[in-house]
């Protein structure tokens, strides 16, 4: 491209203590271009866009937007220069209208009254121009996930964004909603907007972008046109070696039922509840449940992890009534991989070794009375770190400093590895894996999925709850879809198509 770039990053370097997060990165973005930014977890993507958006200040280097230098460490300066960002986790107030959410923070505090009429007209004009239909007075809490994302994009466009950063924009969308988003992105670039597209889904990266840039260990290691580049090449650039995608396994014999739900409902208000759900989880089998987040998956996961009670129906574990007690469930051989790895999966201020043993502290191998056997506990943690390749510091490093992929591997190792002196040193009887690979790079995804398959092959019953269709199709021996708290029939994985799963995720399954 010969025209001057709309964005130029020159020699961006950022250190966090001894960690070199960005190493002299130089990158351009042109008008009407979609640039995909790829890399493993911890490769430096988030740091780079945080510097661009003013959340961090680079130690070295400079940024120019439309030929003018951008003041460092100033989000307002980035907004005024035309940079907008849509985060993976939406920042919307559910109890306010679409218009209120879009206007929030866009009017000066000293203005004596709100100019809602003009704002509404401007919002509708932007929505019509970019093909993002919206009802300004609708409550955000009543919108689907795809519609909420539309509101997030409109927030940025309403403020005059000409460079848009999209962080994992399809992570929570159905296939049909993803298609609608791709059409919208096409309209945006046709009108001259420029987009930085961050995703771990390589097929969609090659579909929507004109150019790809790959970071590895803080360095820009590859930059190439999307046309003529393969998923295998992208994966190799990202992780430094070839990565084999997880393939559907042939049907296998299953064991007895480990956990059974019969007509289970929960009393929780809103969408995240269960309505007469029946499900059987058998030894040596992976049951995968698809669905858009917020349709009851969290209620199901928390119920089976002892953090929520059923208001109707029965839940049994190995013939016993399941107790709403996480400690009891851990003692029965139930392992959990929670959806929110940062908020629920680890205690960020505790060390790696303390987190590694946190759910096994009642084991006689690790504690006696009220005392932790520190030497044994640290040896067990070291085994997890070694076997699951947890990188990012030693046993005494605070868990919050780990990248998302390494944090997930720590949680996975904690769930799957029992202290070696215990009789039950095999994988747990039941594994509840809620969004086990959400936001992970292709290498970490393959590793986590292979470990779940290995646990199944060793005789565990595995429940995978995911909104990633590729994961559901690759892992599920049997598959079902959850929508508005209800579960479809549970069918063999090969009986489903992507289109059928997508329709069921949107509530259009018969």
pLDDT at position 168 is 81
pLDDT at position 425 is 46
pLDDT at position 145 is 72
- Do residues 274 and 266 make contact, with C-beta atoms less than 8 angstroms apart? yes
Each domain of the chain, given as residue ranges in start order, spans: 7-239, 257-505
pLDDT at position 37 is 95
Q: What is the pTM of this model?
A: 0.71
CATH T-level topology, domain 257-505: Rossmann fold (3.40.50)
Contacts of 103 (CB under 8 A, 6+ apart): 114, 116, 119
Q: Which CATH class is domain 7-239?
A: alpha beta
The closest of 382, 429, 430 to 410, measured between CA atoms, is 382
The closest of 122, 205, 132 to 168, measured between CA atoms, is 205
Q: Chain-wide mean pLDDT for the chain?
A: 86
Cα→Cα distances 200→167, 269, 404, 432, Å: 10, 33, 13, 23
Block residue for tokens 């096409």? 186
At 130-181, the pLDDT tens digits run 888 888 999 988 887 778 888 888 888 888 899 999 888 887 676 777 888 8
pLDDT at position 389 is 83
Q: Where are the alpha helices (DSSP H) in 210-365?
A: 231-239, 297-304, 326-331, 352-357
Residues 258, 317, 343, 372, Cα dihedral to 10°: -100
- Do residues 428 and 460 make contact, with C-beta atoms less than 8 angstroms apart? yes
Task: Using 50 as the pLDDT threshold, list the residues of the chain that sit under it.
Answer: 422-425
H/E segment holding residue 181: helix 175-190
pLDDT at position 112 is 66
Q: How far apart (Å, rounded) are the C-alpha atoms in residues 493 and 63?
A: 49
Q: Which residues pair with 195 in a beta bridge?
A: 34, 164
| CA atoms lying within 13 Å on the CB side of residue 315 | 23
pLDDT at position 109 is 61
- Do residues 212 and 181 make contact, with C-beta atoms less than 8 angstroms apart? no
Q: How far apart (Å, rounded) are the C-alpha atoms in residues 139 and 98?
A: 6
Q: How far apart (Å, rounded) are the C-alpha atoms in residues 160 and 145?
A: 24
pLDDT at position 423 is 39
| DSSP secondary structure string for all residues of 395-412 | TTSBGGGS-HHHHHHHHH
Q: Which residues pair with 13 in a beta bridge?
A: 60
């Amino acid at each position: 491209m010969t025209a001057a770039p709309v964005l130029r990053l020159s020699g961006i370097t950022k250190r966090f203590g001894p960690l070199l997060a960005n190493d002299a990165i130089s990158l351009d973005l042109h008008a009407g271009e979609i640039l995909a930014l790829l890399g493993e977890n911890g490769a430096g993507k988030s740091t780079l866009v945080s510097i661009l958006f003013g959340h961090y200040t680079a130690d070295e280097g400079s940024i120019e937007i439309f030929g003018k230098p951008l003041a460092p460490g100033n989000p307002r300066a980035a907004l005024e220069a035309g940079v907008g960002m849509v985060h993976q986790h939406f920042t919307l107030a559910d109890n306010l209208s679409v218009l209120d959410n879009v206007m929030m923070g866009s009017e000066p505090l000293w203005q004596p009254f709100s100019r809602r009429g003009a704002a509404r007209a401007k919002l509708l004009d932007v929505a019509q121009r970019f093909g993002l239909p919206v009802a300004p007075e609708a409550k955000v809490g009543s919108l689907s996930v795809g519609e909420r994302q539309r509101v997030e994009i409109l927030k940025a466009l309403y403020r005059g964004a000409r460079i848009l950063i999209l962080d994992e924009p399809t992570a929570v969308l159905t296939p049909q909603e993803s298609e609608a988003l791709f059409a919208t992105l096409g309209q945006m670039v046709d009108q001259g907007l420029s987009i930085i597209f961050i995703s771990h889904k390589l097929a969609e990266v090659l579909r929507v972008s004109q150019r790809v840039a790959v970071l590895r260990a803080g360095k820009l290691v590859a930059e190439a046109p999307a046309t003529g580049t393969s998923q295998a090449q992208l994966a190799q650039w990202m992780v430094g070696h070839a990565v084999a995608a997880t393939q559907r396994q042939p049907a296998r014999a299953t064991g007895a039922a480990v956990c059974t739900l019969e007509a289970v409902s929960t009393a929780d208000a809103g969408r995240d509840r269960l309505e007469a759900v029946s499900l059987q989880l058998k030894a040596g089998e992976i049951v995968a449940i698809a669905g858009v987040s917020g349709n009851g998956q969290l209620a199901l996961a928390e119920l089976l992890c002892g953090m929520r009670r059923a208001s109707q129906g029965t839940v049994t574990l190995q013939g016993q009534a399941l107790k709403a007690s996480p400690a009891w469930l851990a003692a029965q051989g139930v392992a959990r991989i929670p959806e929110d790895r940062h908020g629920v999966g680890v205690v960020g201020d505790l060390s790696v070794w303390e987190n590694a043993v946190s759910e096994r502290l009642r084991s006689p191998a690790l504690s006696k009375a009220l005392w932790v056997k520190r030497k044994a506990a640290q040896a067990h943690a070291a085994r997890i770190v070694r076997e699951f390749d947890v990188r990012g510091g030693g046993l005494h490093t605070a868990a919050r400093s780990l990248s998302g992929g390494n944090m997930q591997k720590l949680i996975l190792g904690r769930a799957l590895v029992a202290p070696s002196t215990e009789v039950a040193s095999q994988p747990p009887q039941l594994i509840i894996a809620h969004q086990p690979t959400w936001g992970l790079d292709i290498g970490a995804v393959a590793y986590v999925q292979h470990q779940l398959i290995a646990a199944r092959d060793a005789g565990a019953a595995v429940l995978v709850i995911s909104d990633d269709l590729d994961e559901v199709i690759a892992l599920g021996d049997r598959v079902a879809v959850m929508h508005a708290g209800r579960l479809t029939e549970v069918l063999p994985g090969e009986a489903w198509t992507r289109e059928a799963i997508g329709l069921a995720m949107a509530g259009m399954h018969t």
